[in-house]
A and B are shown apart, each in its own frame.
Chain A
Amino acid sequence: MFLTLQANDKRPAYQQIVDGIKALIARNGLREGMTLPSVRQVAGDLGINLNTVAVAYRQLQDEGFVTVRHGAGAVISSRTPHPVDEAELCQPLRTALTELILAGKTSQEIEQTVRRELALLQQTRSCNTEKGGAQ
């Protein structure tokens, strides 16, 4: 399983790692109990500072996506949907929509894009769930 970090992304490296791991959890690519590679391995493989990866893992831990156990590394934790602030949750969506509007997309095009991305995400999720069941 691979996480992709874009060359022209404005987000810092640690944020790309956090978002990438969250996306894999959302798609069921990373499931409860799976172990993430060590901070040292990630930093070494990407050629970035250890602290950058440590910050990303700490953020994932603070948000409840991973549990860091001494000796066992970072493990994907079980997640039960809990009430979240709707406005806070919609903030990235608003930012993305603004970017799409500023890029000259029409409402219809934006709707199509959102539907397509959502369908793709659900398709990947069910595919990963089936794979997980087969294993």
Chain B
Amino acid sequence: MTAPTDFEVMVLVTVLVVLSLVYSLVRFAWKQPLRNGPGFFLGIEVPAGFYDGPGKQWLTGYRALLVALHLALAVALALCFALKRWNLIPLWCGGFALVYVPAVVALNLWTRHKLGATPPVRAVALSLESRRLGDYISWPTEALFAAIIAASWWLLLRRGVAFDWLPPLQMTWAALILPGKIALVRSGAPLPAERAEEHYRYQDAMRRNAIHAFNAWGWLMLVTLCGFPLRMIWPPASLPSLVWIFLAVFSAVFVCMMIEVWRGMRLAATMGRDLRPAGSWMTPFRGATRQMNRSYLIWFAIWIGGILVVNLYSLLRSYSLVR
């Protein structure tokens, strides 16, 4: 049995990522503005007949932005392959998140500003249910997670041979998502007083889904991290089998992660479809935008910034610009 080449591994990973993106685009993002029915655009209440007039342009603009973003990313990916720069593929994945997420958030804010300029101020409801970390985060699983990371590094370091520390460091950093999960449990948005119970259940379901998706991401990074020490200690004769095992496990975890993400998106669409008010409303204290709270944003900026820094360092090093 021969092991797949780096090129073949990258092709497999890219195919998985591209298929997931295309499915997400067609199945969810394309219809997102109409998620609350024809009386709404991205959760903002619009007048009757909106889609016969200016709504058409809004919808076209939204879809044109989606297509433009995906086209730009497709061109960048094609360049990676054309130039045979496989080390740019992880940077492309990070770049996708860095371009796509802010663009969609900016579009949401712009739409809210233009279409929902004077949203009604409503009474707010406060849930008196305590959110304990233990209800959302499994501490034994977190302990196992930390133990596997520690064991991987111990195996890497105890071998005493020189190894490229950058990829394992990158995977370790990407797998450190516990602070993000804690911030997510603690974050919440104001609930409208009408149908407060339903809004609360929706918000909680979204929180749990995000944590499940985070967990799957963490395991994906952990599987990749484990590949480095295993490659060092595995008998050289049976190294191809390790690569195949790794690819099978990686693909399985990736598919699980995407199923988790899509399940969450489907649930959001089902639970949120008939929830009113849908989003364009204000509280006596602040706008209820369902956006991430401050502590979560701070963690996210540090986390994604760390990934980006390591990626850039790796890129500069590959061009021998840094030692």
Contact = CB atoms under 8 A, between A and B. Distances in A.
Interface of A: 1-7, 9, 13, 17, 20-21, 24, 30, 35-38, 40-42, 44-48, 73
A2 B188 contact: no
Contacts of A36: 128, 130
Interface of B is mostly: loop
A38 B196 CA distance: 20
Contact of B128 (A1, A5, A6, A13): A1
B127 A37 contact: yes
Given A2-B197, A7-B284, A46 B124 contact: yes
Given A6-B123, A7-B123, A46-B190, A37 B129 contact: yes
Interface of A is mostly: mixed
B193 A4 contact: yes
Contact of B121 (A7, A21, A30, A40): A7
Contacts of B125: 2-5
A24 B128 contact: yes
B145 to A, nearest CB: 25
Contacts, number: 79
Nearest to A52: B285
Interface centre among B121, B126, B197, B284 (most CB of A within 10 A): B126
Contact of B126 (A30, A38, A42): A42
Interface residues on B, range: 20 to 34
B207 to A, nearest CB: 12
B130 A37 contact: yes
Interface string B114-141: 0000000111111111110000000000
Given A4-B193, A7-B283, A40 B186 contact: yes
22 contacts: A1-B127, A2-B193, A4-B125, A4-B193, A5-B123, A5-B125, A7-B122, A7-B123, A9-B284, A13-B284, A13-B285, A35-B130, A36-B128, A37-B128, A38-B130, A44-B188, A45-B188, A45-B191, A47-B189, A47-B283, A47-B285, A73-B130
Given A36-B128, A36-B130, A37-B131, A4 B123 contact: yes
Given A37-B128, A44-B188, A46-B124, A2 B285 contact: no
Interface in B229-254: none
A5 B130 contact: no
Contacts of B131: 37, 41
B130 A41 contact: yes
A47 B293 CA distance: 9
Nearest to B282: A7
Contacts of B122: 7
A65 B197 CA distance: 25
B219 to A, nearest CB: 28
Given A4-B124, A46-B190, 20 more contacts: A1-B127, A1-B128, A2-B125, A2-B128, A3-B126, A5-B284, A6-B284, A7-B283, A30-B128, A36-B130, A37-B128, A40-B186, A41-B130, A41-B188, A44-B186, A44-B188, A45-B188, A45-B191, A46-B283, A48-B285
